[in-house]
Structure 1
Amino acid sequence: MIRVWVIGLVLVSAQLALAADPSASLRPVQRGGNAVQQPLTLEATGAISQPQQSAPQDAAKQRGGIFSSLRPLFRSNKAAKEGRAQKRLQAKGAVCGDLAIQGEQVGRVTGKLRGCGIENAVRVRSVSGVGLSQRAVMDCKTAGALKVWLEQSAKPALSKQGGGLSSLRVAAHYACRTRNNQKGAKLSEHGKGRAIDISGFRLADGSEVSVLKGWNARRYSKAMRRMHKGACGPFGTVLGPKANRFHLDHFHFDTARYRSGSYCK
């Protein structure tokens, strides 16, 4: 009887020793590549102790696998979709990501004067179905402003004249020069690809009206003033026949912005 009691005491002591020392546990221990990630634990300081990565995840990170980051995969898919959409638009002749703006990509444009140039220039041939007498080089912000002006002001103003607006006579677009070509003057917005000068309008029936003759003509004066006023907003600067002697025969539009708002004269 005493012998059985002694054996039982020895077994209990052994179990207590194993409980005190986890490393001596009889359970198999995960090793090497089969190691699994342990759950997050909260240390005495209250900080979350990050678990060690398992060997498969470490290897995947080194290879740049899925465990390295899930986000780049989703970003890549989105970028790929946007790229395909952009190519489809370009295949249809669109620039600036807008089917209404037809032309071609030009890229970076430089000039001789300091401050001249355009980072991402486009050469526009038509906007909202209205052709340009010459392909005009500008940035996309200016092309977008031209679209807004045509759709909201120019086309409505001439909708009842000669079958409507067909094309614009472009007097100037990108040119690395000073304002009004005056020596010592500030750099023109034309030199930054932010401006376009329009000297006349061609109608669907083939007739044309110029800013010079149409501004005070009974038949076109109302439409001319409506177009001039309507440009104030989409563009930051709007100059016409009343501005000065340099603009008697054309409208000057540019996308420069001022704290006080658009400058229109």
Structure 2
Amino acid sequence: MNVRAVVLCALGLTGLAPLAEAAAPEQTPRPPLTRGAGALVGAEPAATAAATPSSPPMQPPSAPLAGPTPDPLRLRPLDRPASPQHAALMRRPADLQGTAPLATPRPETRSPDIAQQVLFGRAKKRRGSVCGNFDIQGEKVGDIAGRLKGCGASDAVRVKSVAGVQLSTPALMTCDTARALHKWVENDVEKAFGRGNRVVRLRVAAHYACRTRNNRPGARISEHGRGRAIDISGFTLEDGTTISVLKGWLDKPSRKAMRRIWQAACGPFRTVLGPEADLYHRDHFHLDMARHRSGRYCR
């Protein structure tokens, strides 16, 4: 054996020892579950730990953590402390009576006289109502035959008041027209001039009349001739003041309210004509139920 072979053999034998010492252990040690200064929880037995001299031992922290030392076996968070309300409730004596009543007290029973008046008032409104609405007061008239071709109305009624607002004269119309008038008065007219000074009366300028439009010869039959139109020329308030369409449309104190209720009528009614429509309607609102191809017609 030459010198070179002897040297290589010597180098191979000396390099095996470090490799044998650095060999991996049969089982990797588990890390501790919790940190702290105490003993490791869940660590391997001493025999296993001794078999791995290459692993450095765990060093305790230089300073303990602030606060109480947590229980290493407790993985859930601590319960919240009791609130002051809960503590006060626990200190409350068991025999202490509550301040709230056991049941809500009932209102006093109405006297028989008041109950009778209410029932009498409802029965009276029921007897005087038309078109299936207690707030539309009047009387049934039935079918009306017109003297001109195209005039007349079916199941007409004579309306005296709507939504508690009186009409200056009983107006003859169909139930569709009466319902539209009631909706307009209840939603827009009654409080148009102020909640403290409500409208209590409508001045009726025209209702059913078998005639042509604007009384012109040869013109078409007006919606008044079918019981589907009504003209309103003024509004009477609770304080006795009457605001006419002719003056109220231009007067500064009332013109905003006049334009507001004129515009609101274009909803329940399909045709609404006011002072700016033409000379025939400068002193009243014309409201009717005529159908138009383009929708509602409001001027």
TM range (shorter): 0.5 to 0.7
Partner of 1:92: 127
CA distance in structure 1 between the partners assigned to 2:289 and 2:222 by the alignment: 12
User: Secondary structure of the equivalent of 2:151?
Assistant: coil
Paired letter, 2:186 = E
Is the CA contact (8 Å cut-off) linking 1:236 and 1:261 kept in structure 2? yes
For the residues of structure 2 that align with 1:114 and 1:90, how far apart are their CA atoms?
37
Deviation at 1:89, TM superposition (A): 7.9
CA contact (8 A) 1:107 1:119 kept: yes
- Is residue 2:219 matched to residue 1:189? no
- Residue equivalent to 2:164: 129
Q: Is the 8 A contact 1:89 1:99 kept in 2?
A: no
- Name the structure 2 match of 1:165: 199
Name the CA distance, whole Å, in 2 between partners of 1:193 and 1:231: 18
Q: Which residue of 1 aligns with 2:269?
A: 235
Report which of the two structures shows the higher radius of gyration computed on alpha carbons: 2
How far the C-alpha of 1:163 sits from its partner, in A, is 1.4
1:253 aligns with 2:293: no
Match of 2:175 in 1: 140
Secondary structure of the 1:196 match is strand
Conserved? CA contact 2:126–2:134, under 8 Å: no
Aligned length, in residue pairs: 177
Structure 1 residues 181 and 213 mapped into 2: Cα distance closer, same or farther (>3 Å)?
same
What is the CA deviation profile of residues 54-83 of structure 1, one whole-angstrom value per residue up to 9, with x for unaligned ones?
xxxxxxxxxxxxxxxxxxxxxxxxxxxxxx
Equivalent residue number for residue 156 of structure 1: 191
| Structure 2 residue identity aligned to 1:203 | L
Q: Distance in 2 between matches of 1:185 and 1:90?
A: 41
1:202 aligns with 2:202: no
Q: 1:91 to 1:99 in 2, by over 3 A?
A: closer
Task: Please name the residue that 1:119 is paired with.
Answer: 154
Distance in structure 2 (CA, Å) of the matches to 1:90 and 1:212: 34
Q: CA deviation at 1:261?
A: 1.1
Q: Shift of residue 176 of structure 1?
A: 0.2
Separation in structure 1 between the aligned mates of residue 214 and residue 124 of structure 2, nearest angstrom: 36
Answer whether contact 1:89 1:95 (CA < 8 A) is retained: no
Q: Which residue of 2 aligns with 1:101?
A: 136
Q: Relative to total residues, which structure has the larger helix share, 1 or 2?
A: 1
Q: Is there any run of 5+ residues in structure 2 with no aligned partner, and where?
A: 1-122
Distance in 2 separating the partners of 1:193 and 1:222: 30
Contact 2:197 2:239 in 1 (8 A): yes
Amino acid at match of 2:163: S
Deviation at residue 92 of structure 1 after TM alignment: 2.9
CA spacing shift, 1:109–1:90, aligned 2, 3 Å: farther
Instruction: Report the identity percentage.
Output: 58
The residue type equivalent to 2:151 in the other structure is: C
* CA distance, structure 2, for counterparts of residue 183 and residue 90 of structure 1: 43
1:47 aligns with none
Matched, 1:220 2:254: yes
Tell whether the 8 Å contact from 1:89 to 1:97 is kept in structure 2 after alignment.
no
The CA deviation at 1:233 is: 1.1
TM-score, structure 1 normalization: 0.65
Corresponding residue number in structure 1 for 2:212: 178
Is there any run of 5+ residues in structure 1 with no aligned partner, and where? 1-87
Distance 2:185 2:194 in 1: 11
Q: Which has the higher contact order (CA 8 A, sep 6+)?
A: 1
TM score, norm. by length of structure 2: 0.58
* Structure 1 segment 60-79 matched on structure 2, within 5 A: none
> Aligned partners of 2:182, 2:298: CA distance in 1, in Å?
18
